[in-house]
Amino acid sequence: MGRRRRRAQDSAATDPATAPRGEERADRKETKHDYKLDKTALKTELVKAKGTRLKWLAVVMGLGLACYFALSTGGGAGLLTKAKSLIGL
């Protein structure tokens, strides 16, 4: 198998028709590398966006739970009466 490989390399080096083939491979390799970098950058951006969204979701849920516990324990009753007096109810 080693002999075939040597013969293929020797013939490729002497044949001018296959010279651009190496350049094509280099271009394809570079294109593939750029695609992978772009894909990684997009995935990173997506993860950041999801993290931001989940952060705000957690903040809203925390505020909702805090309001629920404040109102259900009776500690928020005074706040409700003050809010009603401000509104005029």
Q: Which residues contact 76 (CB under 8 A, 6 or more apart)?
A: 67, 70
**pTM score above 0.75:** no
What are the residue ranges spanned by the domains of the chain? 20-87
pLDDT band at 2 (very low <50, low <70, confident <90, very high): low
pLDDT tens-place string over residues 24-59: 888 899 999 999 999 999 999 999 999 999 999 999
Look at residue 70 in the predicted model and tell me its pLDDT. 74
Q: Which residue has the higher pLDDT, 67 or 5?
A: 67
Torsion of CA 4, 5, 6, 11, to 10 degrees: 90
41 vs 17, residue with greater confidence: 41
pLDDT category of residue 67 using cuts at 50, 70 and 90: confident
What per-residue confidence (pLDDT) applies to 23?
Answer: 86
